[in-house]
Amino acid sequence: MRRVASLLPIFDWAPRYTRTDAVDDSVAAAIVTIMLVPQSLAYAMLAGLPPQAGLYASILPLVAYALFGSSRTLAVGPVAVVSLMTAAALAAVAPQGSPAYAAAAIALALLSGAVLLAMAALRLGFLANMLSHPVISGFISASGLLIAAGQAKHLLGIRAGGETLPQILQELWTGLGDTNAATLAVGLSTLAFLFWARRSLKPLLRRSGCAPRVADLAAKAGPLVAIGASILAVLVLDLGARGVRLVGPIPAGSPPFAIPVFDPGLWLDLLPAATLIALVGFVESVSVGQTLAARRRLRIVPNQELVGLGASNVAAALSGGFPVTGGFARSIVNFEAGAATPLAGALTAILILVATMFLTPLFRLLPQAVLAATIVVAVLALVDFAAVRRVYAYSKSDFAAMAATIVLVLMVGIEAGIVGGVALSLILFLWRTGTPHVAIVGQVPGTEHFRNVERHAVLTSPDLLSIRIDESLYFANSRVLEERVLAEVAVRPELRNVVLMCSAVNLIDASGLESLEAIAERLASAGIGFHLSEVKGPVMDALRRSDFLAHFRGRIFLSQYEAAAALAPAAHRDA
């Protein structure tokens, strides 16, 4: 049974499901549905797809995640960043609005799911840690700005294109003279209301005596209120006749069963974008899932998350949707609304299905400017300028990767941004570890501790050199250690022994091993002993698997104090 529960987490929580859990899940589902319906419509528009595609992508994927996902509160569906990446990927293979565009979206969802499932089969959940937080934060912030700028055309009621920020701004400037006043009024009033509802409505209702959950529900219902009010305004003021673009007819009914078109050429073209979407979506989902799980002292399993998200994307493909992932905002809402289990997601799917089958005719009079305003308010919450300041103050190299990601996303494109940010992060990592901190250490008087001679008043001996490398020893830095040891030896004529303190060494690769052998050989030829201290168990196991110990003439000490006491007893006896 434990094996089954590891593959299908539903068998872990379902046997313990209670009536209280059912009430909590039902309330959370109702709240998330209120938020998810307008978001789904908006993110479909952001992806360049018909509004119903967003609803379709919010039904079966939620059910699939409830079956296979490991997070109790993660809410899966269309999200802003993935929708933008979807639009960029599809624009390269088909004209927007064409049947080929919709078919490519389905294929992209299937490929994203396949990539995630392949990663799960290969146990690659650890890749969630390979994308640095500054790169992801910069990517999301820049994408938020790019999305917000791209929605300005709908708020102005003009036609404008562009994939980068300069292109979008140029197109907006060119079309500014064609601004539709009625559309602008609808867009700006919706923006103002949504910002007010997000920031001020809940505190206002709480001061008025509303229960916390009621106040929270009312605040989350802001987009739904905006949709209802705008549809009423269209009916009363005949805004369609005044040039306000409307969503138009939306087919009612359950999601269609869609078979992704088998086109090897198309799939090959979409595969790089699908891989990026899978990686970014996975990292975002795991980050949100781990944060929420920690609040309840639970845990998520990254490899199982790959299965859950992969199944969700396959489900999106089979139901006429587009790529999905765990959304930050809706997951927070799901958590705060009291969702107890993934069944809350399945209940949300049922409620969205009801809306899809019976309420879609109401959305035909919905102004596109209202959906654009919904997107702008949602994505601007993702822009974190404070994070840029924090990273700059703490680490200039991380800031460089973050800044490069932001600039590339805004100026070149989203794929270039994430690839460039990751590449620069790896380059900076190799640079940092390739130029490790190497310290000459001595004994702190009265203790058995050894510290950097440049930072502390310590005891040293002219015939003993204690040197510490604060990094694993591998191909990028092994020559650095070689050169540093030989340079220190050259200026110490009385030297008899060198001890390499390995307390910070977690790995010695083949290049590092060759450098140790070279150091030992050079020192031996000069009549100087070479020794190691504080070698960690896994590193020692690796050395035993080689022939290094067979011809190593020095000693390996348990501690640096033991080495100093054995090799320079006079200097350290009374310390």
Tell me: pLDDT of 313 over 90. yes
* In the chain, domain spans: 19-427, 438-572
Is it the case that residue 5 has pLDDT exceeding 60?
no
Q: Classify residue 16 by burial, with Cβ atoms within 10 Å: 0-12, 13-18, 19+.
A: exposed
**Residues forming a β-bridge with 278:** none
DSSP 98: S
What is the pTM (predicted TM-score) of this model?
0.79
How many residues make up the chain in this entry?
575
Q: Are the C-beta atoms of 275 and 115 separated by less than 8 Å?
A: yes
Q: What is the pLDDT of residues 126-180, one digit of tens each?
A: 776 667 788 888 888 888 898 889 889 989 999 888 888 999 999 999 999 899 9
Q: Is 465 helix (H, G, I), strand (E, B) or coil?
A: strand
Q: Which residue, chain included where needed, has tokens 């040891």?
A: 485
pLDDT number for residue 190: 92
- What percent of the chain is helix, strand and coil (3-state, nearest 5)? 65, 5, 25
Report residue 6's pLDDT band, with 50, 70 and 90 as the boundaries: low
Q: Which of 16-20, 154-158, 187-191, 368-372 has the lowest mean pLDDT?
A: 16-20
Cα dihedral: 410, 412, 416, 420 (round 10): -70
Q: Which of 155, 170, 377 is nearest to 245 (CA)?
A: 155
Predicted local confidence at residue 472, as pLDDT: 93
Of 23, 1, 3, 89, give the one whose Cα is nearest residue 322.
89
DSSP track, 173-192: HHHGGG--HHHHHHHHHHHH
Q: Within 13 Å of residue 375, how many CA atoms lie on the same side as its CB?
A: 34
Structure confidence by residue, pLDDT tens digits, 214-261? 777 677 778 888 888 999 999 999 998 998 998 888 888 888 888 888
Residue 230 · residue 186 · CB < 8 Å? yes
Say which range, 39-43, 450-454, 511-515, has the weakest mean pLDDT: 39-43
User: CB 243: neighbour CB atoms within 10 A?
Assistant: 12
526 in Cβ contact with 489 (< 8 Å): yes
Q: How many CB atoms sit inside 10 A of residue 43's CB?
A: 34
Specify the pLDDT at position 36: 82
* The pLDDT value given to residue 437: 92
C-alpha dist (Å) from residue 163 to 160, 369, 415: 10, 20, 11
pLDDT tens figures, 336-364: 767 888 888 889 999 999 988 888 888 88
- What pLDDT shows up at residue 1? 46
- Non-local CB neighbours of 110 within 8 Å, separated by 6+ positions: 260, 313, 314, 317, 318
Question: The tokens 């348990």 sit on which residue?
Answer: 558
Q: What is the CATH number of domain 438-572?
A: 3.30.750.24
Q: In this model, does residue 545 exceed pLDDT 90?
A: yes
